[in-house]
Structure 1
Amino acid sequence: MLFKSSLSTVATTASAAEIWGMGFFLIFFPEEEEDEINNPNTKKLKPSITFNTLLRRTNSVHLVSKAQSTISICALLVFFSLLLFTLSTFEPTATPSFPRRQLSSIKLYKPKPRPIVRETVHAFQGMGSLYTRGSRAMNSLIICHVMDSVSISELGLFLRLLHRSSLTSRSDVLFVFPSGKSNGYDYVIRQENDSVLELIARFKDLNGSSELEASFDVTQFVKSSEKMKGSAEAIWGRRIRSGNFSGENETELTQLSYGSVVGFEVDELDPENSLAGFMDHVPLSLRRWACYTLLLGRLRRKFKHVMLVDVKDVLLLGDPLGRVKNQSPESVYLSTISTATAKHGRKNHQKDVITPSIISGGARGIRRLANSMVTEIVRVAMQHKKKNSVTDSVVLNQLVGNDLLTSNIKVVVSPESIPEASSLSSVVLSNHSVIRRGNSNVEEFRVALMKHICSFKLDSSVYTSDC
């Protein structure tokens, strides 16, 4: 017994020393293995760790296959989308043709004609709008300013009379509009331009016919090819490289002669509103003078004669430029109107004052007058406490009375005042080249004018809507 205990003690000591030297190695068995050890006769089962590993591998295979199928479907969708888009962009090279027998039985749909939308073309140096490009370069320019209160019918009447005065056969017409108002007048301007050009073209085609008589002198718009030969092209719009500027066949004996019609807004010609710092509100009647300085400076040496016209107040029936064509380039021709005045309770009496509604002269003189007017407007505005009371009529009369300011301008004042339309009969009306609209009804004046126009066969064939 003593020997056994000593032997066990030695074995324990040796095993302890062996364990201390070699370390620990632990093995854990699951419950199934313990049952298997305890009961060796039970059926041997597969360890659970092998089943979990297989399950994880199966799930990963399924995920990879699903991802591949999703990518394949997306690729097919993209391919079919690109194919459909490519096919839809192709246009048929030929339209299907039907036999003549079938055409008679098929009801073809004819859409209603749409109004022609014209492309907006800049008139000059990226500014303005070109309504009609003239057949050639002109020596005279008519600048018409359109006040805010001018209606479409008033502008249409002014332009119709302007065309019938034959001024547009030898002059360009330039409109100055308030800011944002040019689009509202586009239609009536183009309509009047197209009507008069159609009338002139019919007159040219009916040469030698009994229907030549018109309500105005149409021959001014038709020139011989010899006179038109060598004419420069109009400065407005895009440059035409062809040598035929009138758009007519060069082999014809006669060609059409008409000027350009263009329009600008004040913000294009005076973007900084030069007079805004000297008065609270700058009306177009004053701001236009700042526009003239820029415009005539850029058009220097392009025109010999210039005329300034107020569309609201003046109607042109003839050629007022004829009186300045033989004058010097520095000359400025001013007109007067009669106004009623009263002093110290006396009865009203007539007084002639210079009107800014119509001014004509040489291009150099008009440009110098515009520069002097801008300086005088600033001076008068700084003197007045009520800056909005400044008018171009007052400034112009003060300027003309100051010989120092007009020393470089040759001023000529007409002794005859411009009559009003309401004070003239239809017979006397034709003897004047310029009349004032005054308080007369524009519609009544237009009706009387169209009654005269429609009495001529050639005119009535063009103005069918008014006749």
Structure 2
Amino acid sequence: MGFFTMPNSKAKSKATTSTSNNNHNGMDFLLVFFPQDNNNNNTKFNLCSSNPNNLILSKTQFTISICVLFLFFTLLIFTLSNFEPSFSNITPTLQKPLIIRKSKTQNLLFPKKHLSTTSHALQRMGTLYRRGTRSMLDLMICHVADETVEHDFRLFLRLIHRCGVTAKNDVVFLFSSPSTSSTFAHVIQQENNAFSSLVTLHSELPNSTTRFTKSEVSFDLTRFYSKKESEKMESIWGKRIRSNLSKVEEGESEMAGMNGGGGGELVLSYGSVLSFDATELDPENSLAGFLERVPLSLRRWACYPMLLGRVKRNFKHVVLVDVKNALIMKDPLGRVRNRSPESVFLFNKKNSDKTRLRVNSEVVTGGARGVRRLCNVMPVEIVRAAMQHNNKKKNSVSDSEILSQLVGNKFMWKKNNINFIISTESIPEASSLVGRNSGTANATSLLNHAIIQHGTSNNHNISSFINKEICSFVLDSSVYRDC
């Protein structure tokens, strides 16, 4: 296509034939088409018109590819995040147990190893060192004074493992502060691991090997035997573990089928081991406004109501014990198991004044209801006693004296509906039972008592004697580092 100009006169003559006359000054334009250029022009037009379409199409395809790729990765990540491997159900505090054939009609269920991880014990408070195999009916609360040394604490814990207390009780240690709790944490873990090793070693003994288990001072695994009962509840401490329990039941049923089924199946049963510190159970230090100094022997009475109030429907019996001054040799609840839930059993305390009743506050046992009511009354009585003393004697308040006054007041018995049972016996001191010699007869005399006292002069000697007796057995000594 080209553009040509023609003179004005010729254009005017042609225009008069088709239209009216017009007077024009200047140039007119005439369009002339050239057929020979059609192919080239069409090609240029097509190229100009097709390039934008191709660009848009390619961008669209690229965008769709990116979206599809993004969707694929999203689905892949979602699938992986919801995938649970087989080991995810294993928790630090309760492992999948191993069932070992004990005889043709009996087998034993026990964990292979305890891990040293910890978690919260109850409602984001406390520390759970070992979660029991099931819920226990009895609870032992052991307060650990600041002046308690590691050696005495270790011996106390070792004895309650060996004498079977942890077979029937959950054990709670009450510390004065988080720093004290962290100081003794490694001791708790070591003794828990030693207990696990003892279970493993004694369960693998042949039936003919009895020289390690006949003696009274040797570890007796039969105290921890319990018949498998499906109705037994899970431990209340720590997180609930439903998946593991179902796997345990599956393993038990499989082994029972292999053994011919039946009612001879035995399971290892033990309680939880945990701790709280006083700042968790008594954060405001309730007695601080009435006493210049509040030792744990007094502050513990302000901690008990918080703890026992939260677990009051879970336990039938409760034991309160001082770790520093007492050693548990046998079941401490033997005298109260058949008593009413309101019963509280107290030991008499040696007193030169025979006319005055004195009870020992270091060990308190009884029904959960009676002990809980006593713990609710004691803080009020401590405050009352502190206000009656003048400022110079405020720190002379003793929980043993307050408890003795409370027991001697019959009106308080009826008012608080507590049935006190006062033993005519006192807790014997270990020194009076052992004497100077360290023979087997003296060691046996220790085990004739459920609870003994360290004494005031020879704590270290008594601890060394008992530990020596434990380490005298080859099998038992192999699991303790200090043997």
TM (norm. structure 2) is 0.67
Q: In 1, Cα distance between the equivalents of 2:245 and 2:465? A: 39
How far 1:209 sits from its partner (Å)?
Answer: 4.9
**Partner residue in 1 for 2:202:** 203
How far 1:216 sits from its partner (Å)?
Answer: 3.2
- The residue type paired with residue 422 of structure 2 is V
How far 1:310 sits from its partner (Å)?
Answer: 0.5
Query: Residues 145-156 of structure 1: matches in 2 within 5 Å?
Result: 145-156=143-154
Contact 1:221 1:258 in 2 (8 A): yes
- The residue type paired with residue 166 of structure 2 is T
> Structure 1's 350 and 446: CA in aligned 2 closer, same or farther, altered over 3 A?
farther
Contact 1:200 1:221 in 2 (8 A): no
Does residue 259 (structure 1) correspond to residue 257 (structure 2)? The answer is: no
2:333 pairs with 321, 342, 348, which one?
321
User: Percent of aligned pairs with the same residue?
Assistant: 51
Query: Residues 231-246 of structure 1: matches in 2 within 5 Å?
Result: 231-242=232-243, 244=245
Deviations 1:191-239 (CA, angstroms, capped at 9, x unpaired): 11110121012222335251673303220112233xx432111111111
Contact 2:358 2:401 in 1 (8 A): no
SS in 2 for 1:297: helix
> Structure 1's 246 and 213: CA in aligned 2 closer, same or farther, altered over 3 A?
farther
- The residue type paired with residue 371 of structure 2 is I
**Partner residue in 2 for 1:459:** 476
> Structure 1's 446 and 359: CA in aligned 2 closer, same or farther, altered over 3 A?
same
**Partner residue in 2 for 1:369:** 374
Contact 2:117 2:129 in 1 (8 A): no
- The residue type paired with residue 418 of structure 2 is I
Deviations 1:287-334 (CA, angstroms, capped at 9, x unpaired): 101100111111111100000000111111011201111111111001
**Partner residue in 1 for 2:386:** 381
**Partner residue in 2 for 1:410:** 419
- The residue type paired with residue 402 of structure 1 is N
Q: In 2, Cα distance between the equivalents of 1:442 and 1:287? A: 25
Contact 1:129 1:263 in 2 (8 A): yes
Count, aligned residues: 342
1:223 pairs with 226, 234, 252, which one?
226
Contact 1:138 1:171 in 2 (8 A): yes
Contact 1:338 1:352 in 2 (8 A): no
SS in 2 for 1:279: coil
Contact 1:422 1:439 in 2 (8 A): no
Deviations 1:417-459 (CA, angstroms, capped at 9, x unpaired): 1110111122322211111101243432233223322332321
How far 1:255 sits from its partner (Å)?
Answer: 1.9
**The structure with more radius of gyration:** 1
Q: In 1, Cα distance between the equivalents of 2:464 and 2:208? A: 29
Deviations 1:28-81 (CA, angstroms, capped at 9, x unpaired): xxxxxxxxxxxxxxxxxxxxxxxxxxxxxxxxxxxxxxxxxxxxxxxxxxxxxx
> Structure 1's 211 and 460: CA in aligned 2 closer, same or farther, altered over 3 A?
farther
Contact 1:200 1:218 in 2 (8 A): yes
How far 1:118 sits from its partner (Å)?
Answer: 4.3
Contact 1:135 1:259 in 2 (8 A): yes
1:298 pairs with 305, 310, 332, which one?
310
**Partner residue in 2 for 1:189:** 188
Contact 2:152 2:463 in 1 (8 A): no
Q: In 1, Cα distance between the equivalents of 2:279 and 2:341? A: 29
Contact 1:123 1:130 in 2 (8 A): yes
**Partner residue in 2 for 1:40:** none
**Partner residue in 1 for 2:71:** none
SS in 2 for 1:335: strand
Q: In 2, Cα distance between the equivalents of 1:231 and 1:243? A: 15
> Structure 1's 382 and 317: CA in aligned 2 closer, same or farther, altered over 3 A?
same
> Structure 1's 350 and 202: CA in aligned 2 closer, same or farther, altered over 3 A?
farther
How far 1:161 sits from its partner (Å)?
Answer: 1.2
- The residue type paired with residue 181 of structure 1 is T
- The residue type paired with residue 167 of structure 2 is S
Contact 1:203 1:212 in 2 (8 A): no
Query: Residues 62-461 of structure 1: matches in 2 within 5 Å?
Result: 118-179=116-177, 180-206=179-205, 208-210=207-209, 213-214=212-213, 215-225=218-228, 228-242=229-243, 244=245, 249-250=251-252, 251=255, 253-340=265-352, 353-385=358-390, 386-407=393-414, 408-425=417-434, 426=442, 427-461=444-478
How far 1:461 sits from its partner (Å)?
Answer: 2.8
Where do 5+ consecutive residues of structure 1 fail to align?
Answer: 1-115, 342-348
How far 1:350 sits from its partner (Å)?
Answer: 11
> Structure 1's 372 and 351: CA in aligned 2 closer, same or farther, altered over 3 A?
closer
SS in 1 for 2:349: strand
> Structure 1's 238 and 389: CA in aligned 2 closer, same or farther, altered over 3 A?
same
Contact 2:138 2:315 in 1 (8 A): yes
SS in 1 for 2:319: strand
Q: In 2, Cα distance between the equivalents of 1:260 and 1:246? A: 20
SS in 2 for 1:445: helix
Contact 1:399 1:405 in 2 (8 A): yes
Contact 1:204 1:222 in 2 (8 A): no
Deviations 1:150-201 (CA, angstroms, capped at 9, x unpaired): 0111100111111122111010000100113100000111111110121012
How well do the aligned residues superpose, as a CA RMSD in angstroms? Answer: 2.2
- The residue type paired with residue 290 of structure 2 is F
